[in-house]
Every structure is written in C-alpha cells, then in structure tokens.
Amino acid sequence: MLIELAVDNFAIIDRVDIELGAGMTVLSGETGAGKSILVGALGLLLGDRAGADVVRDGCDKTTISARFDLADAPDAAAWLSEQELADEDECVLRRVINSQGRSRCWINGQAVPARSLRSLGNQLVEIVGQHAHQRLTRAASQRAIVDEYGGHDDLLGEVAETAAQIDAHRRAIAAIEQTDDDGAMRADVLRYQIRELEDAAVADESIANLEAEQRRLASAERLIADGQHALAALTASEPAGASDQLAVAERTLGELVETDPGFGEISELATSARIQADECADGLRRHLDSVQIDPERLAYVEERMTTLSDLARKHRCEAAELADKKSHLERELANLENADERLAELRAKVESLAATYRDKAEQLSTMRSAAGHKLAAAVTEIVASLGMPKATFNISVKAEDPATYVSAHGVDSVTFGIAANPGQTSRSIDRVASGGELSRLGLAIEVAAASGRRVPTMVFDEVDAGIGGGVAEIVGRQLRALGAGGQSLCVTHLPQVAAQAQHQLAVAKDSDDHSTATTIHALDETERVEEIARMLGGIELTGQTRAHAADMLARAEPD
C-alpha cells in the first residue's frame, strides 16, 4: 500500500508531500490544477519513460519518491528478497531526472536500473488511465485480460517456451533443406579447405612462437655480438671486468671488517654481488652457445609465417584463429554429411514438441473458456448497475488447430462481445459499444478482474469520464469497494464519486506574474462539504448546494 508520495520540481508542481491511507482516496480540483500530473509523476517513479520536459522550468532536476507498506504485497516482498533489496516491511522508491533527461533510480537506498522500478512497480501499483477502456477493442488486450483474470502466467510461459523451441527446430530444418541443392558442392569446398589447413599443420605451433623464433633467428648475429660484449664487460682481464673488480672490493671490505665491524653488512653485499656477476657470466656463456646463425631455419620459419598469414587472409580471421576455423569447417562438413540423419532427428523432435504444445494449448483453451465465462458473468452483473440493465456481456474463446497454428500465446482468439438488449445477437464490442459504454465496460472489467489481482494499490485517472447522475454514484461505490480490499486512488470531477471516498485531497493551482505551482491539501469533513459543493457546480455556492453536498457524504456507504 502507498503510504507517502513526495514530488519536487515536476511539471507545474513545486513541492508536494502527501500521506495516503487504506481504502478509497479521491483527488479533486479544477481542470488543469495538476491532478493527472500527479498520477504521471507516480508513473515515472514506477518506471515509465522519462524525458527532460518533466523538469519544472528553471530547475535542474525532478525528484520523486514514495514509501510503501508491504504487508499486503507478498509478491513485491518476495521480489525484493530475491534481488537482495529487502528492508523489513517497507519499501522506499526514489527517482531523480535531470534537465538533460538522464535519470537515476533507487530502491531502499540502492541504485538500480529503471527496469527494476518497472518490475517492482507492476507488483505494487496498477494505473488505469481515462483512455484505458480503448484497449478493450484490441484482440491481444482482450486475451491478456482473460489470462490475467484466470492466473494463467505459468501455463502461458510453458506454451511460449514450447512454441519457441518448435520455431527454432523448424528454422533448422528449413536451413538444411535449403542447402540440399548445393550441399554436395559446398561439401567439396569444405573438404578442400580442411585439407589445405591440415597440410599447413595450423595446430602444430602457435603463430606467437613462430614470430618469436623469427625475431631470434633474424637477429642472431646481433645477439651474439652484443652478448659477447656484455660477457667481456663481466669477465675481461684488461681492463678488469666487473667480476674481477667486485672481487677486489670484496677482499678490501673483508679487511676493513676486521678493524670496523660496521663494514660487515656491506662486505656481505659485495660478496653477493660478485657471486651474482659470476653466475650472470656463466649463464650468458651457455645461452650464447645456444644461439645459432641458421639461415635455412630462418627461411623455413618465414615461409611458415607467410603460409599462415595467407590462409588467415583467405578465411578472414587472425592467424592464431586458424585452428578454431578448421574445427568450425569440420563441424559444418559433418552436418552436411549427416544431413539426412540430422533432418530425421529434428523432425522427430518437432513432432514430440508439437504433441506437448497441443496438450498445453488445449489446457490453456480450457482454462481460458472457464475464466472467460466467470469474468463475463461478473462483468454483466456490474454493467447492469452502471446504467446498462439489459446488457449481456460475453467472452468467446475460439481455438485454432494446433497442428497448423503455433504461437507464443496459444491457439485461441478471444473476443469480447455484448448484447445490449434481450433477444439481440451478441456482437464484438468495437462494433456496437459507444465511447460511454466502453468506458463503463472498462470500469466493470477492472472491478471484476480485481478479485484475481494481488496488486495492493489501484490508481484510476478520470475513468468516470462521460458518466453522470445515478450511474456516477454507483461507479463511486464500485471504486470504494475496490479500495476496501486494499487501496484505491481516484482522480475525478464527479461529486457522486468523490462523496464515496474515505479520504479526499484537493488539488489547486496557484499563479502569479512569475510562476505557477500546484498544491495539495487533505480535506477535513467541513472542507469536504465545501469541495463537493464546488464540484456540484454553480458560480456561487448556496446553502442548498452545501446541504446537498453534506447529504451526499452522509449517504456514502459505511465502511
């Protein structure tokens, strides 16, 4: 449940802090005051796409934060635990959008990507906009509504996974069949390329070793000359080499130690230096003996490097990758030579997957039909109270043949239909429902489907548009009923709806010559009478209007 919402420098909002409770809360105010802007801020906090235009003019950033009680949100609590973001029984979300349009997000103080806000937000809040009913005319939306109501997520996932495997195997079959005509020619090319790489012995030695040997052989004369010069510096007798000079220093320091023990450590260092110089000279002699001037070996190595470089250019890879390229060609050749066997395996796998898909798709069809029948009955009952007493809402679930039709969402087409009067044929709602009827149907579906949801907070942004009179009061009661099981937040212009709420917030816009800002104020009972009287209309509020407003509040359904 949403407990607190704070918005800074968002659109025309300067600073807004609101506290929310359980049940139904209404946001009312004049058109353009910023009621829907506040809903938009909440949407951004829940992961909607953000741009620089949301930042209030003259400000460098927008900050939106909210605190949620997770007592009625077990799915959200479980998600937070899985992501190692849990913090006891509450959750704090925060998002900052700067004037360049870049944003940063936090969950319980830990930085997260915006997609994490979306994943968590889907389990905390559902926002129903004033035009949400328009999605009812889309086939995909109708199917999704039935699946959400029926709780088909697990089976849908299995159907989608099986369909994806079938598609992958069918594409593999098509690829093999496509190469049948030129497969023999391709196999001959592969055999030649593999034999060429085998003849070049691409796996016998690494290109790095060849390059190192080539550098050594090409520089053999210089290596020997410079090595001999270094050896002479260590061992020459005229002038004395480093080893002899260190020996002299060692003897002299040894004599000094007898007089002054302070020279002891220095003498030991001289001895160590002389020993290392001798070892260096011995090692240098041995290595110089191994350095050979070998023109024939140098020519061979350079020829090998040229061969490997040519092959690398031919196969469009690095010389060091030729061995891997050879393995890849061998696998491709094996697939071509075993195409018939591979085709048989793939077709058998597709047949097995198709049988699994049929079973799961049939299960899904059965579940959809049951959920559709139950949802249709509930919607019909609600619609009757919303000014369509003779209407019958129905949901048709028609299955295609799974042998020829495979999709990620199953084989069903789901159609919402309505018969406005007894005896009339049911027709698709996009053909017979007016805008006002669609709005009422959308609300009825939201109310009916809420029983299957686990989202604790529902936000309705002017979903009562186009409704008035007694129907508006019934809509208010339905929205209040939704809040009874959790929390509903409703933006409305209708006093009949506002009167049904347990809590009411008044949204106002204050302007001067320099700026415009939105404010929000929680109303007490006396202020609610004044606000609902304002919503009832009239330039001047009269005692009769106030009495009517007080009566509407008094007649609101008790908790």
Q: Which residue has the tokens 């009949």?
A: 496
Cα Rg of the chain, angstroms: 41
Question: Does some domain include residue 164?
Answer: no
Confidence band for 319, pLDDT divided at 50, 70 and 90: confident
Does 79 have pLDDT greater than 60?
yes
Mean pLDDT value of segment 426-442: 73
Mean pLDDT value of segment 538-557: 83
Instruction: Provide the β-strand partners of residue 19.
Output: 4
Q: Hey, what amino acid is at 300?
A: Y
Confidence band for 66, pLDDT divided at 50, 70 and 90: very high
Residues 556, 523: contact at Cβ < 8 Å? no
Q: Which residue has the tokens 């800074």?
A: 8
Dihedral angle computed from the Cα positions of residues 395, 400, 406 and 409, in that order, rounded to the nearest 10 degrees: 0
Residue 150: CB partners within 8 Å, gap ≥ 6? 367, 368, 370, 371, 372, 375, 452
Cα(337)–Cα(430) distance, rounded to whole angstroms? 56
Distance of CA 57 to the CA centre of its chain: 31
Per-residue model confidence (pLDDT) at position 390: 85
Interval 249-306: pLDDT, tens: 888 888 888 888 888 888 889 889 889 988 888 888 888 777 777 777 778 777 888 8
Burial (0-12, 13-18, 19+ Cβ within 10 Å), 540: exposed
Residues 457, 125: contact at Cβ < 8 Å? yes
Interval 186-215: pLDDT, tens: 778 888 888 888 877 766 566 777 777 777
Per-residue model confidence (pLDDT) at position 331: 85
13 by DSSP, 3-state: which? strand
Question: Does some domain include residue 146?
Answer: no
Per-residue model confidence (pLDDT) at position 434: 64
Nearest to 41 by CA among 61, 64, 20: 64
Up-side HSE of residue 347: CA atoms within 13 Å toward CB? 9
The terminus-to-terminus CA distance of the chain in angstroms comes to 18
Confidence band for 372, pLDDT divided at 50, 70 and 90: very high
Q: Which residue has the tokens 């202020």?
A: 527
Interval 11-47: pLDDT, tens: 888 888 889 988 899 998 887 777 888 888 898 998 8
Instruction: Provide the β-strand partners of residue 6.
Output: 17, 65
Residue 347: CB partners within 8 Å, gap ≥ 6? 173
Q: Which residue has the tokens 């790095």?
A: 208
Mean pLDDT value of segment 85-95: 89
Per-residue model confidence (pLDDT) at position 205: 62
Inter-helix orientation angle 469-484/339-385, to 10°: 120
Nearest to 449 by CA among 396, 368, 378, 366: 378
Interval 479-503: pLDDT, tens: 888 777 778 899 888 898 899 899 9
Confidence band for 451, pLDDT divided at 50, 70 and 90: low
Confidence band for 558, pLDDT divided at 50, 70 and 90: low
Residues 54, 97: contact at Cβ < 8 Å? yes
Overall size of the chain counted in residues: 559
Does 559 have pLDDT greater than 60?
no
Nearest to 446 by CA among 415, 417, 412, 475: 475
- Cα dist. 142→8, 363, 403, 415, 449 in Å? 38, 19, 24, 7, 12
Structural domains in the chain (count)? 1
Residues 509, 532: contact at Cβ < 8 Å? no
Interval 378-419: pLDDT, tens: 999 888 877 778 888 999 999 888 778 889 999 999 999 888
Nearest to 430 by CA among 440, 417, 419: 417
Per-residue model confidence (pLDDT) at position 303: 80
Per-residue model confidence (pLDDT) at position 455: 78
Question: Does some domain include residue 322?
Answer: yes
Mean pLDDT value of segment 221-247: 77
Question: Does some domain include residue 345?
Answer: no
Q: Which residue has the tokens 């000279």?
A: 281
Per-residue model confidence (pLDDT) at position 202: 63
6 by DSSP, 3-state: which? strand
Question: Percent of the chain, pLDDT > 70?
Answer: 93
Question: Does some domain include residue 198?
Answer: yes
Per-residue model confidence (pLDDT) at position 6: 92
Helices (H), 137-263: 139-150, 153-178, 183-199, 207-218, 220-235, 242-259
Burial code of 217-253, b = ≥16 C-beta within 10 A, e = fewer? beebeebeeeeeeebeebbeeeeebbbbebbebbeeb
Most confident of 177-181, 351-355, 485-489: 351-355
Does 474 have pLDDT greater than 90?
no
Mean pLDDT value of segment 313-319: 86
Question: Does some domain include residue 100?
Answer: no
Inter-helix orientation angle 339-385/435-449, to 10°: 110
Which token pair is 537?
């209309």
Per-residue model confidence (pLDDT) at position 413: 92
Cα(374)–Cα(408) distance, rounded to whole angstroms? 24
pTM of the model: 0.60
Mean pLDDT value of segment 471-483: 81
Per-residue model confidence (pLDDT) at position 420: 75
247 vs 238 pLDDT, higher one: 247
Question: Percent of the chain, pLDDT > 90?
Answer: 21
- In which domain, by residue range, is 268 found? 185-337
Confidence band for 432, pLDDT divided at 50, 70 and 90: low
